[in-house]
Amino acid sequence: MIPGIVLIIFYFALPVFLIYLTHISRFLSKVGAVVMAYIIGMLLGNIGLFPKQSEAFRDFLASKASLPQEQATAFFSQGLITENDLLANHIASLQDLIITLVIPIAIPLLLFSLDIRRWLKLAKQALFSLLLAMISLLIVIFTGFFLFESHIPETWKISGMLVGIYSGGTPNLAAISTALDVNPNIFILTHTYDLMLGAICLAFLMTVAQQLFNSFLPPFGKTPKLAFAKVSVKTNEMDNYRGMLTRKGAPRLLKAVSLSVLIFAIAGGLSLLVPPSAQMVTVILSITTLGLVFSTIKSVHRIEKTFQLGMYFIIVFSLVIASMSDLRSMFQIEFLNLFLYVVLAVFGSMAIHVFLSWIFKVDSDTTIITITALTFSPPFVPVVAGALKNKELIISGLTVGILGYAFGNYIGVAVAFFLKGF
């Protein structure tokens, strides 16, 4: 058995090493720390290092990740579960605790660095393109829900997660899955399909999409010049973790973490005012709201590297939840139908978005950068803008991506619970 303290140290130390690898290797930088964390986590959870649960213990678990330690001990003393089950439950409870803590701490940190008021003033055309993108996404999510409802377990939760993926990427996906208490295997499988299909989508957007869309969408028009150089530098630094642990940077980040913990505590207090079934949703939405509120305070907004620290916690989350996956049971899920649902979300929403852009005469480059910002998050905006040879897209892309980060949690949770009623 892996001692609990060793496992906790591993979960929080390995992401630091993965981030370091992305800084010294151009190839690994393109792969990304999140993807590496998923791969390592799935290997860790499926090569026999963790004790395997018996069928009897799985029956007691139902859809829960772990049982309260007292309850598990009682079952063991009654001979209902094995000592191996007791060890497996201990590890699962540690994993569940980490997941419960890191996402609520990460969300405010990700939001502190956002200047919502500034983005709303810039690139107004992007806001219209964002509206078309969200309409397109909601059309395919609702369509997919009714197509696959009887074929995929807890389709309403998957629908909410897919809204999160295509409005803010991995951070929103992680937050919504936590709010909805999604089964780790379903989470991993959904995100794995998204990563596979997303790679194809990104290659398309960076290569032939512009030429293809220009054949029926208006070409990009010249816009008034803005401070693109400054924005570009700031965007490129989203993946730059250097300087976080310096004598000057570390105390400031400690203050940001303390504020994030305070926000978590306030949200936890508010959750006590609602029924238990709605408590985690209340926590996530309260944290998102308070994070946005504090981002308007200059002294908080100006703390450097809060976004990167938030992403570090997202990488920790990715590693932990991937290590909780069971490949054997993952592929007992209706994985073909789930795969088709993700295909519909990725390519169906893109097709409808392009069609709406044609109807409302939105230019091809703005359409491409909107799809990029929502599907892959802001760090990919300068990459695709460079491939399109159009740096003027950066403001538009950032505007869309920032708003997706900010409001994707609300929309994803709202859609999930709306669909749950059907």
Q: What is the pLDDT along the chain (422 residues), one digit of tens a residue?
A: 456 788 999 999 999 999 999 999 988 887 888 888 888 988 888 887 888 778 778 777 765 667 888 888 888 888 888 888 888 888 888 998 998 899 889 889 988 887 777 666 656 777 888 999 999 999 999 999 999 999 888 899 999 999 988 887 777 888 898 899 888 878 888 888 887 888 788 889 988 899 999 999 998 864 434 333 344 434 456 678 888 888 888 899 999 999 999 999 999 999 999 887 678 778 888 998 899 899 889 899 889 899 889 889 988 988 998 888 776 665 555 678 999 999 999 999 999 999 999 999 998 998 999 998 888 776 677 668 877 877 777 767 877 887 887 888 899 999 999 999 88
The packing angle between helices 155-168 and 335-343, to 10°, is 40
Residue the block writes with tokens 């598990």: 72
Predicted confidence at residue 332, as pLDDT, reads 59
Distance CA 55, CA 45 (A): 18
What's the angle, vertex CA 407, arms to CA 401 and CA 412, rounded to 5? 110
DSSP 158-180: HHHHHHHHHHH-HHHHHHHHHHH
Distance CA 17, CA 133 (A): 36
Nearest to 115 by CA among 284, 255, 235: 235
Nearest to 407 by CA among 130, 59, 139: 130
Distance CA 89, CA 70 (A): 11
Distance CA 253, CA 251 (A): 5
Instruction: Report helix, strand or coil for 303.
Output: coil
What are the boundaries of each domain within the chain? 102-232+310-420
Instruction: Report helix, strand or coil for 245.
Output: coil
Tokens of residue 78, six digits: 């009654």
What's the angle, vertex CA 135, arms to CA 130 and CA 136, rounded to 5? 95
